[in-house]
Structure 1
Amino acid sequence: MSTIDGNSTPHASPGNGVANQAGSFSSFKPSLTCNDQLSLMVSRGLRVNDRNEALKRLSELNYYRLRGYWLAFEKDDAFIEGTTFEDITDVYDLDSKFRRWVWAALEPIEIKARTTLAQHLSMTYGPLAHLNRGLFNNASMHAESINNVRREIEQARKNKVPCLLHNLEKYGELPIWAAVEIMSLGTVSKLYGNLSNTAVNKNETTVAKAIAEEFGLKPHALKSWLRHLTYVRNICGHHSRLYNRVMTNRPTLLKADKPYASNKQFPTLLVLMRIYQNSWPEKWNEMVNELDRIMSGHDAALRSMGFPDNWKQVLTSSRSNRSGKSNVRCSHAPA
């Protein structure tokens, strides 16, 4: 039976009584062992069918993390009658599976965003286009983005990443097609969103528009979607709760999808759907079927995340007119 305390509890320990900037630790409630945590939950009306298993889960999951999942089972600081510990962990496990599904769906989008930014800028403005402040609207935002890139370069240098060291030794700088590989999606999103309309390619199309066309979108939509997906990626990357979360960063939806707009999770799936239908249409139905398997039997959870009753039909009935194939030739120089 676990008696882990400290990191497994929702409150800071009084420790040695050292005060912090906000005041004394005495203002916090005392730490509780896992056993005491569970007893507290039981005293508030929670039913526990297997105490040993519940203690094991509490020893693995921070009480404070788990609390985010039982808020829907609470009323007036007590659990709704009949709520079990297993009800809470079932929702936790559902969120974990859903989050991993979203994370996997984001991977090719992130890689494509890096690739298309590098291709279109380098083809028109050369290997160091990302360093050219004249191609971007806001100089301070551009400087911040490049500072982030510099920090990532230094970290990669310390880690002795071979391709990075090769380029730095040979050229003194990273060409954009190498730089994007150490950029975060947030940096890629900010660079794209900051592109100036004066950055025009040889076909007299703005670089921002040319990149957006790779996704079957207009620039304002891609800018919004990359910003939103960066937000979602950070949630997934930190293993934070995605289930029933109020999404503070909401994407601009296409007109056909606006009836499903909300501050919950379903709009994110609409964004993923539109990108996949343009880029990898053959993969999308399989992914929706996998999501259906994950969500099967969780109707209440689906509603709490903004899913309509016919969500599977919504995610599979619309089709893109694009083939999803790109006509952009890779311009990257060999290492």
Structure 2
Amino acid sequence: MSAFNIAKASYQIRPEVFNMDYLSKSLNLKKEEIIKRMKRLYDERLIMYVMTPPMQIIGYGLYYWVVKLKEGTSKEKKQALSEWFQNKDEICTGAEAEGDFDYFNGCHMRVLDNLIYDIFYRLRDLPEVEYVHTVPIRRAIRDLYTNMPDSLNDYRKFFLDDDTIKRLAKMQDKMDLTDLRIFKALNTKRPMEEVYDFKVLHEISGLNPDEMLMGIKAVIENNRMLVPVFHFNTRKMGLKSRLFLIKLFQMTPSYRKAEIADEIATIPEFNMINEFTDSFYDIGAAAYADLTDTDALFEKINSFSEVEDVKVADFTREFRRFTCRLDAENGMWEECVLTDDFLWDITQKVMPAINLNINKEEEK
């Protein structure tokens, strides 16, 4: 892990922690140009380096959940609840949405009771909330266009293709085509020797470069315990991710549900795919509505005879990605709190009510 940790802590001012020889050769750009652009992209809060491990393997349950507000809930009330979610450190990935539901958030928890008492019960008591549905993750298949450890095939493959980045370059003015080519090259699957510059990591940390290489290869390539990836600021770039929550008929066997999830994963336009368990819903799949024909994707989903219902909503604001905050407007870009509830027993506490009459709740 040391190589990733050093890169994560340094790339903001030392982009050369990444292998500039590889990037320069693959992009046909000078190293100095790549470094200058990466610094600008970070300084303008357009990119962030994050990582995701298979949480279920390292002792956590990965519980996502969907919140639907009652019809007629004011924008002010929803904004206040969004601020509460934004500042709730236990939420590792989350977003505000518009459509068939209003929020899609996730927590990594060791004890399910803590999640129920700390968040679900408090949401249940809000008169504005129609329902909270849990969607526990059985398999995290793809995120940020990158195949995760639970994917059936093509682990770490990055699915953002050249035609899509050309369209993206034309539809916004924050990242030009060269910036996006750098972004794609940084995320492209390759041996760890070509990901980091271990001489630079040694210069920064004093650690043995050979040992760092051996360690990161074991964690990422051999044991599939970590996937690092660059994320871009969707709000600044005007992108909205459209999430499809797919409910299969109750009699669909588990093996078939897994097969359907894997078949959906063959569609490269989806940037996020999760298979759920113990939930009203069975699969979640998301694609950027501005970059993709999501009506066609909806038809592909409905082409499975096992599909009973599909709920659809667009993300209008993302709170966090893998514990890293995305609210650059609050000066909190990349602030990260990895919570662990192992020694907590929230069931013995009386948690304060969520107050939607003010913008920020004083007490979590």
- Asked if TM exceeds 0.5, the reply is no
Q: TM-score range by the shorter chain?
A: under 0.3
TM-score by length of 1: 0.26
TM-score by length of 2: 0.24
Which has the larger share of helix? 1
Which has the larger share of strand? 2
Structure of higher CA gyration radius: 1
Answer 1 or 2: higher relative contact order, Cα 8 Å, separation at least 6. 2
